[in-house]
Amino acid sequence: MSLPARISLLVVAFLAVVAIGAFVVLHYFVSGPPVENYASGVTPDTGAVVHVVMEEDPENTVTTTPDWVSYFIQNPQTKAWVHTTLFEVPAGSRIDMTIYGFDGCTPLRNNLWGQVTGTVGDVAYVNGTPVHELNSYSGCNVAHTFSIPGINLNVPMASPSLAQAAKPGLCSTAPCQPGNPKAVPYRVMTFSFNSPHTDGQYFWQCRIPCGGGFLTGFGGPMQTIGFMTGNMEVVS
Ligand SMILES: [Cu+2]
């Protein structure tokens, strides 16, 4: 092989190694879950109504950790379910939330997290029925919570009944599709809250130790962005 050909080959091989390295770094270490943008096209600080749609699933067969419980967020344009817990809302707006609850129940460590706080009217609705609290000690009826400590928001997520969890059984393929609750049981949680006037990242999380298989249940999905914890980004 001639010297120029050898040099060319060496350069090509070097660039290939650099490209593979860059891909690994970007794909596995830098890039996080996508941010679902519910703020675009909305004028902030006008009290405009924004409808955010999420769901929580008993598994997530779309990742390499299929036994981890997980939230998903609906893309506002395509309506596709996206495996992320990051979303953006306009400041000073009324956020109407709909969260489909497909996961089964886990008792709360503290029944305090069964109370609805920080919503408009301190109320949430389970399949349209108003509730101020879900008592997970009197019945196994809470799957997760949706809690934003920075605005004192806490809403327990109702679960399908134990009978439904036994038969027909909980959703087994993520993202779960709301439609026929007799085939794939779920509850629909709806509530509203006012987004802050102050821009910034508002951390949110689930308060139920639902990281099955981890010490005290607080590992794994409970501390991983994209599963049971995330950020609400408020923009103006
Ligand atoms: Cu949870």
- Nearest to 32, CA basis, from 218, 224, 234: 224
Q: Is the pLDDT of residue 129 over 90?
A: yes
Ligand 1 centroid, distance to 45 Cα (angstroms): 31
Q: With a cut of 70, say whether residue 30 has pLDDT above it.
A: no
43, 151: one domain: yes
In this structure, the answer to whether residues 27 and 39 fall within a common structural domain is no
Q: Ligand 1 centroid to 102 CA: how many Å? A: 12
Residues 47 and 63 in one domain: yes
- The alpha carbon of 222 and the centre of ligand 1 are apart by a number of angstroms equal to 7
Give the pLDDT score at 26.
60
Domain count across the chain? 2
Q: Is the pLDDT of residue 20 over 90?
A: no
Burial class of residue 80 in the structure, from the number of CB atoms within 10 Å of its CB (0-12 exposed, 13-18 middle, 19+ buried): exposed
How high is the pLDDT of residue 31?
73
Q: How many CB atoms within 10 Å of residue 179?
A: 9
> Is the bond preceding residue 168 a cis peptide, omega within 30 degrees?
yes
Q: Assign 100 a pLDDT band (cuts: 50, 70, 90).
A: very high
Ligand 1 mean position to 1 CA, how many Å?
62
Domain that holds residue 153: 35-235
Highest average pLDDT, of 16-30, 145-159, 202-216, comes from 145-159
pLDDT band, very low/low/confident/very high, at 27 (cuts 50, 70, 90): low
Distance 215 CA to ligand 1 centre (A): 15
d(CA 171, CA 143) in angstroms, rounded, equals 13
Same domain (yes/no): 132, 221: yes
Q: Where are the beta strands (DSSP E) in 31-128?
A: 35-37, 49-57, 70-74, 81-82, 86-90, 94-101, 124-126
pTM of the model: 0.88
